[in-house]
C-alpha cells in the first residue's frame, strides 16, 4: 500500500511530477515535451512496447513527440503533389547528422560514390573522411555532364549512391533531378539530393524519382536561426524504418525536443517567407547585375542564368540565395563585407535577415583548393542569403558598401 500524497516528505514532493490527471488540457499549439523517458501503466505493456508489438514512446533518443510532429508534416509536404507518393522522414540534430546517417546506413567498405563537385563544404569534408576510413572510391563530377556519369556507372559496379545538391551551394546551379534519377535507376543504384536551398516549398524531389531528400532544416525550414536540425526523407519506407532509424537510435543523433519545437514553429510561416525571399533575391540579383563592380551574378531567377529554364521547370521559385563575383577579385569582396552595416557577416543562410559570407575562406574552406577552383568556387565569389526585410534597405546597404 503506497503512502497517500498527504504523508510524503518534503524531498519526495519536490522530486516527483504529478500530472494533472483528469483535468481538461488541450493546448492550442504543440507543447514542448521535455522528457527523456515515458512511463507505462504495467510491466506487460512495457514488454509489448519494447518488443515492438505496441506503439508508444520509449526513450527520447529513439523518438519523441516533438520530432514526430515535424516528421509527419514533412512527409505530407514532400508528397503533396501525388497520392501515389510515399515516404518516411526522420529528424536529426543537424543537417550533417542526417547526411551522415544516410551514408552510414548505405555504405560498406570498398564501395564507390558519385558526388557532385560543387556542394556544401562540410559535406565534401565528411565524404572525404568516410572515403579514408572505409576505403571508398569517390568520383567528384560536374553533374551537367551526364554522359560522364553514365560512363562511370557502366564501368564501376560498386556505385552505391549518386549524391547531388540543387540549387548548389554556393555556385547556384540547378541540376536535372529527373535525368539523374533515371540514370541512377537504370544502373540499379540510388540517388540522394540535398534540398536545403529550395526547401520543400520550392522543390519536391520525390516527384522526379529521387530516393532520398536531405534538408539542413537549420536553414529555411527553421527560418530564424534559432536552432540546429536536419531531415532525411526516404522513398523506401521499410529502409527508413529499419536501417536509417536504427542508425539514428544507436548514434543518438535525434534532434532535441526544444530544437524540434522551434523548427515546427518556424515552419508555420515557410510559404510566406519563401515567397518574400524569392522576390527580394530577384530584385537584389538584378541590381547587382547592373553594378559596375560586379562581373557575374549567379541567381536562377535571372533569365541570363544558363540553368534558368531547368529551374523554371523543376522549381516553384528560384530561392533566396545568390552568389556573385567581384571584378577586382577577393580583396574587393573583403572590402565590401567590411563596410556592410545592415547585412550580417556570418556563415549560415535561410534566416529572415540578410546574411553575407565568403565561401573560399568560410563555408567551403575545408574543400581542397583545387576542387574549389575546378567546380567554380573561386576566391572572388561572395554568397548572399537575401532576407525578407524591406528590399530597399538591403540594396542601400550593398550600394554604400560597394561605393567605399
Between 225 and 257, whose beta carbon lies closer to ligand PLP?
225
**Minimum gap (Å) between residue 165 Cβ and ligand PLP:** 6
**Minimum gap (Å) between residue 345 Cβ and ligand PLP:** 15
Q: Quick one: which segment of 20-28, 91-99, 155-163, 375-383 binds ligand PLP (CB under 6 A)?
A: 91-99
The verdict on 298 binding ligand PLP (CB under 6 A) reads no
The verdict on 117 binding ligand PLP (CB under 6 A) reads no
The verdict on 124 binding ligand PLP (CB under 6 A) reads no
Asked whether the beta carbons of 257 and 34 are under 8 A apart, the reply is: yes
The verdict on 259 binding ligand PLP (CB under 6 A) reads no
Q: Quick one: which segment of 115-123, 137-145, 251-259, 284-292 binds ligand PLP (CB under 6 A)?
A: 115-123
Among 230, 301, 319, 380, binds ligand PLP (CB under 6 A): 230
**Minimum gap (Å) between residue 121 Cβ and ligand PLP:** 8
Among 194, 259, 307, 397, binds ligand PLP (CB under 6 A): 194
The verdict on 96 binding ligand PLP (CB under 6 A) reads yes
Among 63, 66, 100, 169, binds ligand PLP (CB under 6 A): 169
| Interface residues toward ligand PLP, by CB under 6 A | 94-96, 120, 122-123, 165, 169, 194, 196, 216, 218, 228, 230
Amino acid at each position: 500500500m503506497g503512502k497517500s500524497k498527504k504523508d510524503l516528505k518534503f524531498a519526495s514532493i519536490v522530486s516527483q511530477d504529478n500530472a494533472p490527471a483528469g483535468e481538461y488540457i488541450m493546448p492550442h499549439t504543440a507543447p514542448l515535451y521535455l522528457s527523456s523517458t515515458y512511463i507505462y501503466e504495467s510491466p506487460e505493456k512495457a514488454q509489448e512496447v519494447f518488443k515492438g508489438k505496441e506503439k508508444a514512446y520509449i526513450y527520447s533518443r529513439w523518438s519523441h513527440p516533438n520530432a514526430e510532429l515535424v516528421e509527419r508534416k514533412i512527409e505530407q509536404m514532400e508528397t503533396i503533389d501525388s497520392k501515389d507518393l510515399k515516404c518516411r522522414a526522420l529528424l536529426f540534430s543537424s543537417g550533417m547528422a542526417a547526411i551522415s546517417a544516410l551514408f552510414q546506413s548505405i555504405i560498406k567498405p570498398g564501395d564507390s560514390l558519385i558526388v557532385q563537385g560543387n556542394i556544401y563544404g562540410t559535406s565534401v569534408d565528411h565524404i572525404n573522411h568516410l572515403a579514408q576510413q572505409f576505403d571508398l572510391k569517390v568520383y567528384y563530377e560536374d553533374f551537367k555532364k551526364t554522359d560522364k556519369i553514365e560512363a562511370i556507372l557502366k564501368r564501376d559496379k560498386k556505385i552505391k549512391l549518386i549524391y547531388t545538391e540543387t540549387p548548389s551551394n554556393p555556385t547556384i546551379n540547378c541540376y536535372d533531378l529527373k535525368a539523374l534519377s533515371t540514370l541512377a535507376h537504370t544502373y540499379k543504384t540510388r540517388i540522394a539530393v540535398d534540398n536545403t536551398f529550395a526547401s520543400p516549398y520550392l522543390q519536391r524531389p520525390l516527384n522526379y524519382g529521387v530516393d532520398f531528400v536531405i534538408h539542413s532544416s537549420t536553414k529555411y525550414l527553421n527560418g530564424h536561426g534559432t536552432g540546429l536540425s536536419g531531415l532525411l526523407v526516404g522513398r523506401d519506407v521499410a529502409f527508413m524504418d529499419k536501417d536509417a532509424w536504427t542508425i539514428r537510435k544507436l548514434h543518438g543523433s535525434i534532434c532535441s525536443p526544444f530544437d524540434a519545437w522551434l523548427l515546427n514553429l518556424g515552419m508555420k510561416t515557410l510559404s510566406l517567407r519563401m515567397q518574400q525571399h524569392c522576390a527580394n533575391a530577384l530584385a537584389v540579383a538584378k541590381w547587382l547585375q547592373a553594378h559596375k563592380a560586379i562581373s557575374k551574378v549567379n541567381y536562377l531567377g535571372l533569365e541570363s542564368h544558363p540553368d534558368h529554364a531547368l529551374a523554371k521547370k523543376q522549381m516553384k521559385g528560384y530561392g533566396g540565395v545568390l552568389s556573385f563575383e567581384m571584378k577586382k577579385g577577393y580583396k574587393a569582396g573583403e572590402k565590401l563585407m567590411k563596410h556592410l552595416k545592415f547585412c550580417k557577416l556570418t556563415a549560415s543562410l535561410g534566416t529572415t535577415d540578410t546574411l553575407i559570407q565568403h565561401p573560399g575562406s568560410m563555408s567551403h574552406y575545408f574543400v581542397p583548393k583545387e576542387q574549389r577552383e575546378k567546380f567554380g568556387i573561386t576566391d572572388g565569389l561572395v554568397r548572399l542569403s537575401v532576407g525578407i526585410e524591406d528590399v530597399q534597405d538591403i540594396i542601400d546597404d550593398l550600394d554604400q558598401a560597394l561605393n567605399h
